[in-house]
Amino acid sequence: MVDGNREADPWSVIHDHLATGRFQVFGCTVMPGPQLQQAVPITRQVRETFPDVTTVWGGYFPSNQPAVVIRSPWVDYVIDGPGEAAMPALLLALAGGTPVDEVPGVIFERDGRMVRTPKAPIPDQDVRAPLPLDRLAERYPIAGYLPRTFLGRHTHAMHTSMGCPFTCSFCAVVPIYQGRWKARSADLVADEVLAMRDAHGVDAIEFTDNNFFVAEKRVVAFSRRMVGQGVTWWGEGRIDTIDQYSDATLALMRDAGCRMIFFGAESGDDEMLASMDKGGRQSGAQILRFAKRLLSFGIIPEYSFVLGFPRPTEAEVWAQIHRDIAFIRRLKDQSPETEVILYLYSPVPTEGSDLHDQILAAGFAFPKTLEDWLSPAWENFDLHRNPLTPWLTPAMVRHIHEFETVLNARYPTRTDFTIGNWGRRLMQIAAAPRYRAGVYRLPLELKLMQRLRRYTRPEVEGFRAETN
């Protein structure tokens, strides 16, 4: 295994492995954005230097955009969704010369046509063996995966469930998991957390599940095990789900170390929320009320908003942006401790959804080749920074980014623990007049301050993380 995050020059390491002749298959995990930028040239080099090596891509990008990947001359197979069973089965088929058509969860090209085998089932999360971290440690010291964050000195990322039972129309998880969700039992999760604490001094966990909080019963059982164990944690959930939790559960979660929860608030506009298929239960009023409720238990809500959805006319797109900004300001006035993250809407093709039809009707098209995906414009699309969607004018994109700069300076994120109280105060004072007056245009002085203080942008980088 070669970890692109831990190697200065991943290609030279991959090259040296393949040059031994011991490996016949090269597998690569690909998320949109920077991972894609690295995966394309490296896979191309593999194909050009070692033409006999079979190449396999897995992860969110190829699972959601398989046609463009399979059409490229460098990728032979895509694993669509979970790889635990599909990859070994594919390897067996390749080694035994049996038809790949019988392996679930694989996409490939035959006679110029894309072939998709049936979706692979989500593996039972309770039967997987503990991750062989000792094998990983032979090449990459584990401490390098346990950075300091606002949560703790040694933060570990952990995945305890797969998929999500909801089907929000804009979400990349939906085409892959189609409303399916499977979780690891609370006791096994707690055992794993405590084992990491005892073996590696882990005192903080980021649960990177799409939806950690689907089942209150599981969260309660996990929380009971974690009270008094000295581990803080963060996870991602839905407002309408956790709003159903009892007060006793929220208090227990806090006592068990839950510090912050990430929520896709998306918009304060009820009509917008309905068009996103947010389950029909989330509303603007609830977003506001719930922030207050969660904060009263000492847990910080981290709300993400998605701006720039398609509307029938330019005037309506502008009106929607202004409404969303006004809502975010109302939220901050009411509960300033709420963390706010802004994204620009970047379409994911969930075929058959209303939103999908709307974006095609508005003239949107994805790149036709992998090389096209490498252009800086499409990298920004992937990062939700500049979506290249025809209904968003450059002036709108600029306005949203300028508002974001002022908002982030007025309310610097708690998750950046390096800016210090003085740095935080200074930014707040500098941003206050603009924020109060609602004047966001060209906030160059705030941009400069953020750059000088190396202000972290959680929407792109995740939490501020410093290697110990």
Contacts with ligand SF4 by CB under 6 A lie at 164, 166-168, 171, 173-174, 210-211, 238, 264
Contacted entry of ligand SF4, ligand B12, none for residue 413, CB cut-off 5 to 8 Å set by kind = none
User: CB–CB of 148/207 below 8 Å?
Assistant: no
Amino acid at 324: D
As measured in angstroms, the least distance from the Cβ of 35 to ligand B12 is: 4
* Bridge partners (DSSP) listed for residue 264: 304
Contacted entry of ligand B12, ligand SF4, none for residue 199, CB cut-off 5 to 8 Å set by kind = none
User: CB–CB of 146/126 below 8 Å?
Assistant: no
Q: Does 234 bind ligand B12 (CB under 6 A)?
A: no
Contacted entry of ligand SF4, ligand B12, none for residue 202, CB cut-off 5 to 8 Å set by kind = none
As measured in angstroms, the least distance from the Cβ of 239 to ligand SF4 is: 10
As measured in angstroms, the least distance from the Cβ of 15 to ligand B12 is: 18
Question: Which of 195, 368, 460, 466 is in the footprint of ligand B12 by CB under 6 A?
Answer: 460
Site size with ligand B12, rule: CB under 6 A: 34
Q: What is the spatial distance between Cα 251 and Cα 257, in angstroms, rounded to a whole number?
A: 10
Q: What is the spatial distance between Cα 340 and Cα 338, in angstroms, rounded to a whole number?
A: 6
User: Quick one: 431 or 465, whose CB is closer to ligand B12?
Assistant: 465
Q: Which stretch binds ligand B12 (CB under 6 A): 41-49, 52-60, 313-321, 440-448?
A: 52-60
- b or e along 328-351 (b: 16 or more beta carbons within 10 Å of the residue's beta carbon)? bbebbeebeebbbbbbbbbbbbbe
Q: What is the spatial distance between Cα 255 and Cα 231, in angstroms, rounded to a whole number?
A: 10
As measured in angstroms, the least distance from the Cβ of 462 to ligand SF4 is: 17
Element of type H or E holding 404 = helix 394-410
User: Quick one: 54 or 338, whose CB is closer to ligand B12?
Assistant: 54
Contacted entry of ligand B12, ligand SF4, none for residue 348, CB cut-off 5 to 8 Å set by kind = ligand B12
Q: Write out the two tokens for 278.
A: 């947010």
Q: Write out the two tokens for 135.
A: 């094998």
Q: Does 79 bind ligand B12 (CB under 6 A)?
A: yes
User: Quick one: 171 or 204, whose CB is closer to ligand SF4?
Assistant: 171
User: Quick one: 264 or 443, whose CB is closer to ligand SF4?
Assistant: 264
As measured in angstroms, the least distance from the Cβ of 34 to ligand B12 is: 4
* Bridge partners (DSSP) listed for residue 304: 264, 341
Q: Write out the two tokens for 327.
A: 């809502």
- Residues making up the chain, counted from first to last: 468
Q: Does 29 bind ligand B12 (CB under 6 A)?
A: yes
In the window 151-180, what residues touch ligand B12 (CB under 6 A)? 159, 171-173
As measured in angstroms, the least distance from the Cβ of 200 to ligand B12 is: 18
Q: Which stretch binds ligand B12 (CB under 6 A): 43-51, 297-305, 311-319, 382-390?
A: 382-390
In the window 102-161, what residues touch ligand B12 (CB under 6 A)? 159
| Helix runs in 201-269, H state only | 216-226, 239-242, 247-255
Q: What is the spatial distance between Cα 264 and Cα 113, in angstroms, rounded to a whole number?
A: 37
Contacted entry of ligand SF4, ligand B12, none for residue 347, CB cut-off 5 to 8 Å set by kind = none
369: helix, coil or strand? coil
Q: Write out the two tokens for 255.
A: 């006592």
Contacted entry of ligand SF4, ligand B12, none for residue 238, CB cut-off 5 to 8 Å set by kind = ligand SF4
Q: What is the spatial distance between Cα 252 and Cα 439, in angstroms, rounded to a whole number?
A: 42
Q: Does 459 bind ligand B12 (CB under 6 A)?
A: yes
Q: What is the spatial distance between Cα 140 and Cα 142, in angstroms, rounded to a whole number?
A: 6
Contacted entry of ligand SF4, ligand B12, none for residue 252, CB cut-off 5 to 8 Å set by kind = none
As measured in angstroms, the least distance from the Cβ of 433 to ligand B12 is: 30
In the window 294-353, what residues touch ligand B12 (CB under 6 A)? 348
User: CB–CB of 115/169 below 8 Å?
Assistant: no
Query: Which of these, 176, 356, 220, lies nearest to 275 by C-alpha position?
Result: 356
Q: Write out the two tokens for 63.
A: 């699972």
Contacted entry of ligand SF4, ligand B12, none for residue 107, CB cut-off 5 to 8 Å set by kind = none
User: CB–CB of 436/329 below 8 Å?
Assistant: no
User: Quick one: 213 or 440, whose CB is closer to ligand SF4?
Assistant: 213
Q: Does 210 bind ligand B12 (CB under 6 A)?
A: yes
User: CB–CB of 345/317 below 8 Å?
Assistant: no
Contacted entry of ligand SF4, ligand B12, none for residue 166, CB cut-off 5 to 8 Å set by kind = ligand SF4
Q: What is the spatial distance between Cα 356 and Cα 283, in angstroms, rounded to a whole number?
A: 22
User: Quick one: 87 or 103, whose CB is closer to ligand B12?
Assistant: 87
DSSP state of 20: T
Site residues (vs ligand B12, CB under 6 A): 5, 27-29, 31-35, 56, 58-61, 64, 79, 82-84, 87, 159, 171-173, 208-210, 348, 382-384, 459-460, 462
